A and B are shown apart, each in its own frame.
Chain A
Amino acid sequence: MNELRQLAKELLGNGTVKVIIGYSEGTTPERAKPFIARTEEDAGKLIFNKYCVNNLAVYLTRKEFKRKGTIGIVAKGCDVKAIVQLIQENQVIKDDVYIIGMNCGGVVSGFGVDDTAVKCNNCKVKTPHLYHTLLGAPVETPAKDDGHLKLIQKLDAMTAEEKWSFWEAEFEKCVKCYACRQACPLCYCEKCIADKSMPRWIESSAHTRGNFAWNIIRAFHLSGRCVGCGECERACPAEIPLSLINRKMGMVAKKEFDYSAGMALDAPTLVGNYDTADREDFIK
């Protein structure tokens, strides 16, 4: 933690970055919160531990940060994936961000709990794949069961009707708070399709029909883009297992197009590009 504060102080002091987006202690120690360090003094408040769950890349696309110039960001491996995807999509300029990569041994699944998040079980970016400075020692964690994968396989084996009733029960709970959208670093549209009212594409009331439309479209807009940081699911007050959809779509992108989101800076984005050899056996 000291090396993080030391580095932050240096970076802010010599003007390499204008602000550093990081974490500070919240109301209780297990509630780390996002924190913007503006001065060298602020740097002393930065922390990093397993309670730092938020994906801070969500702030990078905000206008108030963009106009500040170079932004420092404290990022775990999964956050770095989001940053890379944002750079790939030209939403963040590569030279405008200074990544303080953190070696991470997994974070908790939410506030007030102590179990490691499912996304961390088989994490391949415990040491971030892109950074300007890497801090902390690499953490070895025992391999655990991939909880999501089993559930996805179970769902895949169901009939269409069974799947429908499973998701109907889940989507019924949606209250259309759009927390999933707000927490997602890749949902950066200034005007979301859900907010468009002429015509109203996605019904705004929290009714199953509109909930289906919203959740399907949200998942589709993230297919081949979702980096699996799990923020949507953590933010969801209705506890809808959004990771199951996002992960599945990631698997489809991998299987069909051999594409993994947020892994390579210079890789062309999946849906923004095409290949003349793409599959078309389903088209008559």
Chain B
Amino acid sequence: MEEKTFEPKITAFVCNWCTYTGADLAGTSRLKYKPNIKMIRVPCTGRIDPVFIIKAFEKGADGVLISGCHPGDCHYNTGNYHARRRWVLFTELLNYIGIDSSRLFFSWVSASEGKKFVDVVTEVTETVRKKGPFIQYHKINKEFVLDE
């Protein structure tokens, strides 16, 4: 089957208290956003182990979005501060290894920012669509399946 247009696959790791609720608000407000995003709810952005992001790429994601509460608003007080520091290191590491960190998106979306959530998702989807599929990772994924 030949694909005519490339539909990016995007995995989103969102925090339960802010972004997930924000996405909920977008829904109840009947706002429309791209269906390319697959959301995974986690308790806090501090719960997002970088291995999740690697796993997402392994499972065929072309982009990953990570979103949580604004600094200072964390339900667990400091989860997002800790996470933020890790992301600085992790994005640098990915860039160094050759995994373009422009496929990785971070945002703060609070529970009241349904509109912002829609904007973020739209922007992420369009950016990844322009960048095209994550060929390098897809290649090693494919090799892996053949080996099995």
Considering the chains assembled together, what is the distance between the CA atoms of A160 and B134 in angstroms? Answer: 12
> B49 contacts which chain A residues (CB < 8 A)?
193
B58 within 8 A of A: yes
> A210 contacts which chain B residues (CB < 8 A)?
144
A239 within 8 A of B: no
Give the interface centre of B58, B106, B143 by most chain A CB atoms within 10 Å: B58
> A253 contacts which chain B residues (CB < 8 A)?
89
Considering the chains assembled together, what is the distance between the CA atoms of A283 and B107 in angstroms? Answer: 5
B76 within 8 A of A: no
Chain A proximity mask over B85-106: 1 for CB below 8 Å, otherwise 0: 1111111111111111000011
Q: Which A197-245 residues sit within 8 Å CB-CB of chain B?
A: 201-203, 205, 207-210, 212-213, 215-217, 219-220, 223-224, 245
How many A-B pairs fall under 8 Å by CB?
A: 129
A278 within 8 A of B: yes
B120 and A160 within 8 A (CB): no
A161 and B92 within 8 A (CB): no
Give the interface centre of B50, B92, B98, B143 by most chain A CB atoms within 10 Å: B98
B93 and A223 within 8 A (CB): yes
In the assembled complex, how far is the CB of residue B56 from the closest CB belonging to chain A, in whole angstroms? 11
Interface residue tally of chain A, by bracket? 35 or more
In the assembled complex, how far is the CB of residue A108 from the closest CB belonging to chain B, in whole angstroms? 28
> B147 contacts which chain A residues (CB < 8 A)?
205, 207
Interface residue tally of chain B, by bracket? 35 or more
State which of A36-44, A163-171, A178-186 sits at the interface with chain B.
A163-171
Selected contact of B93 from candidates A166, A216, A257, CB within 8 Å: A216
Given A209-B141, A217-B51, A284-B107, A245–B89 Cβ distance below 8 Å?
no
Given A278-B84, A283-B107, A164–B89 Cβ distance below 8 Å?
no
A114 within 8 A of B: no
Selected contact of A283 from candidates B51, B95, B106, CB within 8 Å: B106
Q: Which residues of A come within 8 Å of B, CB atoms?
A: 155-156, 158, 160-168, 193, 201-203, 205, 207-210, 212-213, 215-217, 219-220, 223-224, 245, 248-249, 252-253, 256-257, 270-271, 273-276, 278-280, 282-284
Closest 9 CB pairs of A and B: A164-B98, A163-B98, A274-B81, A284-B107, A283-B106, A160-B100, A223-B89, A209-B140, A252-B92
